[in-house]
Amino acid sequence: MVLNQSLKKQQPNEHEYKSIPPLESGDRLTRHEFERRYTAIPDIKKAELIEGVVYVASPLRFTNHAEPHSNLIGWMWTYRTATPGVRLGDNATVRLDLDNEPQPDGVLFIDSTVGGKVQLSDDDYLEGAPELVVEIAASSAAYDLYDKKNAYRRNGVQEYLVWQIYENKLDWFQLFEGEYRQLEPDIEGIVRSHVFPGLWLAVSELLEGKMAQVLAVLQQGLNSPEHAEFVQKLTKLSG
């Protein structure tokens, strides 16, 4: 959680810090209490509130998290730079509802000035459902595919991408009539976003770490007529 200046001014003094209980995995808290404890413990780099339950992240390994995380962020960053009106966040805290405040590995969303649903709060947090959420999951047993997935679905996250590291498997879900359905690769092995035209992903190449090919396929998407139409639409709305 990145604290901006306005929030830092509200941080408790040393005496108040000592009176605030620690933030531990398994705690059941309101969102307000979760934020109060999280703010008071600067040593914690990532904690989430999912369905009212606290999850404090363990130290992150390089091969099993940091590297795949950077690859996905690089892929989304390339799309964002070519698509005005679209914004990207890396480990941004998201206030979904009163029981859920996740800190997803990546979010891609349409700016509110051009019709996006996410708002930036006065204290600089995302509020609402980003159009696309990306998570790196330890395995198919991770809460990313259960309680967190349900929270994203219920709050209207349109697309949800989960990379299961140990299985080396990627699932991309699209919200359809209130339920998530999986987007399947086409005959060329490419998954195409329905929310972000031109956001194409060569799944096998990503799983094999072939980022040059991943970016080459993305560039094809950025050169597509549907991406050009999307950019034109966003440009008109921003005008």
Of 182, 191, 194, 183, residue with least CA distance to 214 = 191
Number of neighbours of residue 58 by Cβ within 10 angstroms: 10
Over residues 150-178, mean pLDDT: 95
**Average pLDDT over the chain, rounded to whole?**
89
Model confidence band, residue 141 (pLDDT cutoffs 50, 70, 90): low
Long-range Cβ contact pairs of 12-20 (< 8 A, separation 24 or more): 12/40, 16/40
Q: Which residues contact 234 (CB under 8 A, 6 or more apart)?
A: 83, 84, 85, 86, 110, 114
Over residues 12-24, mean pLDDT: 64
pLDDT at residue 140, rounded to an integer: 65
* pLDDT tens-digit series, residues 93-110: 999 999 999 999 999 999
pLDDT at residue 144, rounded to an integer: 83
Q: Check the CA dihedral 111-162-58-38 and report its sign.
A: positive
Q: Check the CA dihedral 24-28-31-36 and report its sign.
A: negative
pLDDT greater than 60 at residue 136: yes
Over residues 39-68, mean pLDDT: 88
pLDDT greater than 80 at residue 3: no
Domains of the chain: 11-56 (no CATH), 62-238 (3.90.1570.10)
pLDDT greater than 90 at residue 138: no
pLDDT at residue 9, rounded to an integer: 34
Number of neighbours of residue 214 by Cβ within 10 angstroms: 24
**Out of 127-131, 219-223, 233-237, least confident range:** 233-237
